[in-house]
Structure 1
């Protein structure tokens, strides 16, 4: 139900389609190989538009094989949802695991569940996860996420600028 609400929110707020490539893995396909140390361009405080409102992401530097971060989405001065995430070294690969929370901190996923994005490949200042791409260009970072509902897929762009705390 919350996924349907979120998709409706995207459409009502004029979410746009973007041509940036978002790669996916087939269910039987092995994830790509990579090291968390190769992603030292991600940590920081990032702010910008997305989902028809304002978004923020904060990424901490890698420690003990993982980067931790948080995301929040504001629209018309109201916090609609947030995320808590870990980008973890998973053997020779990487996996991004995240949980969503409503503005009142009620969880979208059950206690032992999370949304997971497996590594497809890493390039210079670009990370392709299954359904999510992060690309850094100077002090900007674009994040593209595949949103799917009822067989329809669209790509949502988050256009971040690096900010000071």
Structure 2
């Protein structure tokens, strides 16, 4: 009985942790969308995470894509950067990301990057595999990201941003 309860608690907690992100289902067709469907992501967003201050800046759609950058600053020093794109290709969207140390040396190999296909889109929420953007209000944005922690387990983290004016 104790084993059953432990397994049940694990399943419930895992589902609660990852309720804002989705995994790809190979049996489903790609979701149709336009880059203009996610134009609400554009802006200069600021927040806090990893013990520091974060900036997430997204351009408005141009050339069937949006470009984003992320910066983490802890104790006045840049920890790392990310360069991101959301691109419209073949009537769907792809989210791509590369990480860089504070000296702009890449984390990923030269021709490698993280890529996530669009899985679901709603009026104020867009789901890519392991990444979700949520428009809370005109001035607030949540981004949910699935990370692999030090023990090799996946966990979801919420980044809350406010629009900087």
TM range (shorter): 0.7 to 0.9
Gaps of 5+ in 2: 1-15
| Aligned residue runs from structure 1 range 144-159, under 5 A | 144-149=144-149, 151-159=152-160
| Aligned residue pair count | 148
Q: Which moved more, 1:84-93 or 1:48-57?
A: 48-57
Q: RMSD of aligned C-alpha atoms?
A: 1.8
Q: Distance in 1 between matches of 2:108 and 2:26?
A: 21
Post-superposition Cα deviations, 1:120-165, rounded to whole Å, max 9, x if no partner, equal 111011110100111011110000101124541111111100002x
Aligned position for 1:161: 162
Aligned partner of 1:83 in structure 2 is: 82
After superposition, the Cα gap between the structure-2 partners of 1:115 and 1:19, relative to the gap in structure 1 and judged at 3 Å, is: closer
- Return the alpha-carbon distance in structure 2 between the equivalents of residues 43 and 61 of structure 1: 5
Query: Once the 2 structures are TM-superposed, how far is the Cα of residue 88 of structure 1 from its aligned partner?
Result: 0.2
Greater mean alpha carbon deviation, residues 40-49 or residues 142-151 = 142-151
> 2:18, 2:155 within 8 Å by CA — same for their partners in 1?
no
- Tell me the secondary structure at the aligned position of residue 155 of structure 1: strand
Give distance in 1, aligned partners of 2:96 and 2:27: 19
Structure 1: gaps of 5 or more residues: 1-16
How far, CA to CA, are the matches of 2:18 and 2:96 in structure 1?
Answer: 25
Go from structure 1 to structure 2 and tell me whether the alpha carbon gap of 1:113 and 1:30 turns closer, same or farther (over 3 Å shift). Answer: farther
Q: Radius of gyration: which is bigger? A: 2
- Structure 2 distance, partners of 1:28, 1:102, is 37
- 3-state SS of paired residue (1:40): helix
From the two aligned structures, give the one with the greater helix fraction. 2
